[in-house]
Amino acid sequence: MADQAHIQEAIKIQGQVVRKLKSEKASKEQIDEEVSKLLQLKAQIGGDDGKHQFVLKTAKGTRDYNPKQMAIREKVFNTIISCFKRHGAETIDTPVFELKETLTGKYGEDSKLIYDLKDQGGELLSLRYDLTVPFARYLAMNKITNIKRYHIAKVYRRDNPAMTRGRYREFYQCDFDIAGQYDAMIPDAECLKIVHDILNELDLGDFRIKVNDRRILDGMFAVCGVPDDKFRTICSTVDKLDKMAWEEVRKEMVSEKGLSEEAADQIGEYVGLQGGMELAERLLQDPKMSQSKQACAGLTDIKLLFSYLQLFQVTDKVVFDLSLARGLDYYTGIIYEGVLTQAGMAAEAQNGSAAEDSVSVGSVAGGGRYDGLVGMFDPKGRKVPCVGVSIGIERIFSILELKAEASAQKVRTTEVQVMVASAQKNLLEERLKLLTELWNAGIKAEVMYKKNPKLLSQLQHCEDSGIPLVAILGEQELKDGVVKLRAVATREEADISRADLIAEIRRRTSEA
């Protein structure tokens, strides 16, 4: 045992080494090396019989989903998919890992969050970080110039996630994109309509959809005196305005990114502005902004966008917001983000979680126009204009899970419509015969896996799992050619002839 104690002490010391390196932001190689030493020490500790003890946990930033959570999740997916289909989208799938070079240089400062895999016999691979870059690769590779597609799949990010806030290292994305050469702002407006309809149907509470344009941002940076080579990095800082106060953002621009105080203050005057079509008109008259051709093109498109949004009846939720930046490098035009408002999130706060936590769910959808991304993959640089939206399914799911917990409403995890039960012994064969009849007719049914189950335990099972009907067989029923159909909720029973049973079950379940 002395040896065990010795190893425990070594683990403790090595753990401190790793934590110290992390807090000092040491190089990844250095940290990895020390972590691997720590893991080797831990592996030396066996159980009492010398066997290695397993740690039963999911990997950092991941989670399991139990049947109740999956039932909620399935409902959300169905709502989203039916909206995508209503708008005429088809679906595709792509591999979970891509060649590393496919993903490199597309995500700006977030590139450090990409999961690289070990060399698999000559190919350097990475796990996909989003669904947009693989989509662009797919279009270029297959020479597709127009498609309206949705894609729902898992993506991977080496983030330090706050899992309470619906952020993970492995999570689903639900993307809808329109690729092709079309007239300005028509597909863009449809993407916003989709965000609006999905957030509305999911009933998450009050929300807003913020809209801006990369060209307006770049024009604004230019007229405020930001050097060209700092556009992207300043853009990433502006993107933090939803999480940080302007003072902190200004400080990062000036002291970390080396921007002049004067330029930062001029940016500050613009990023506080919010409005609708009238704000775009006002900025087109703005003495500084109107000097930028790029900004004017963006502002003209925003005006056009709002005119289509009026026709789609969604302007009550859309706001033109100059602070919206979206950190990804590949956006070239319109950008937008769906956020839950404080009021919409108050429901969460009442659920006992601290108010700040409940507010921080924030963005639940985002997207924009990326006209250059496909061209990056095309050998001849042929561009395919694209605009798309990604629904933040994990965050939405976190909110709905909290809502389900807060309301005492029972979530059903199966769809069984009827339980085939018996009141007497030796009726297993008859139960299985009836069960088969129901299955063959497409009715969702089940039976207890016992030869002679007690009627009470069969009824209790229905209560517990929310099965609405019980078909009860007994000697007398078999003689009379009937089945006793019992409604679990009201406990009412009726003898139904065997020939009419399937129609009766269908009638009752369709009413429910």
Integer CA distances (angstroms), 382 to 53, 139, 215, 376, 425, in order? 56, 11, 21, 8, 74
Q: Which residue numbers belong to the known binding site?
A: 130-132, 157, 173, 177, 326, 330-331
Residues contacting 216, CB < 8 A, separation 6+? 283, 294, 295, 298, 299, 302, 322
Q: Please report where in the chains the tokens 């497409």 appear, as a residue.
A: 442
Q: In the chain, what is the straight-line distance between the N-terminal and C-terminal CA atoms, in Å?
A: 64
> On the CB side of 199, how many CA atoms lie within 13 Å of its CA?
30
Neighbours of 126 (CB within 10 A): 19
Q: Does the CA dihedral 89-95-98-99 come out positive or negative?
A: negative
CB 10 within 8 A of CB 34: no
Q: Does the CA dihedral 394-398-404-405 come out positive or negative?
A: positive
DSSP for 388-402 reads: EEEE-HHHHHHHHHH
The amino acid that residue 229 corresponds to is D
Q: How far, rounded to the nearest angstrom, does the alpha carbon of residue 306 sit from its chain's CA centroid? A: 27
The amino acid that residue 164 corresponds to is T
Token readout for 336 is 């937008």
Q: How far apart are CA 89 and CA 268, in angstroms?
A: 40
Q: Which residue numbers belong to the known binding site for L-histidine?
A: 130-132, 157, 173, 177, 326, 330-331
Helical segments of 350-474, H only: 355-359, 373-377, 393-406, 428-440, 455-465
The amino acid that residue 383 corresponds to is K
Residues contacting 230, CB < 8 A, separation 6+? 221, 257, 258, 259
Q: Closest Cα partner for 458 from 416, 450, 494, 496?
A: 450
Residues contacting 466, CB < 8 A, separation 6+? 410, 412, 414
